[in-house]
């Protein structure tokens, strides 16, 4: 699968805390299928309205789902509202930019 955020990166399988996820070797972002993120950190997923802006860098860039190419919707995480996640409304997958996963789990 190709990374939804950086052009050159590809996603590679990686096991985090017993759950298989896909991580980009370029930007270190992580893709979670459907309920993988909720299994990992008990996150209830997206909340609130889609965001228009962004905070910085790659995070501003609208991504496309690596599975079905649906444009990802940027929303605050319910668990940590300072973290913005990219959510696919088609397959319910979630993208976290590099470092965001650490912020959610720390």
Q: How far is the CB of 91 from Zn ion (least distance, A)?
A: 3
- Based on CB atoms, which residue is closest to Zn ion, 72 or 81? 72
Q: How far is the CB of 52 from Zn ion (least distance, A)?
A: 21
Maximum Cα–Cα distance for the chain, whole Å? 34
- Based on CB atoms, which residue is closest to Zn ion, 26 or 45? 26
Positions that interact with Zn ion (CB under 5 A): 3, 5-6, 9, 24, 26-27, 65, 67-68, 70, 88, 90-91, 93
- Based on CB atoms, which residue is closest to Zn ion, 27 or 81? 27
């Amino acid at each position: 699968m190709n990374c939804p955020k950086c052009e050159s990166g590809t996603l590679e399988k990686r096991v985090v805390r017993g759950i298989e996820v896909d991580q980009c070797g370029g930007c270190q972002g992580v893709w979670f299928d459907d309920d993988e993120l909720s299994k990992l950190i008990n996150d209830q997923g997206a909340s609130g309205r889609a965001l228009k802006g962004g905070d910085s860098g790659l995070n501003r860039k609208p991504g496309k789902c690596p599975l079905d190419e649906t444009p990802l919707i940027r929303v605050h995480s319910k668990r940590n509202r300072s973290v913005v996640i990219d959510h696919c409304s088609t397959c319910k997958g979630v993208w976290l930019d590099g470092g965001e996963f650490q912020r959610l789990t720390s």
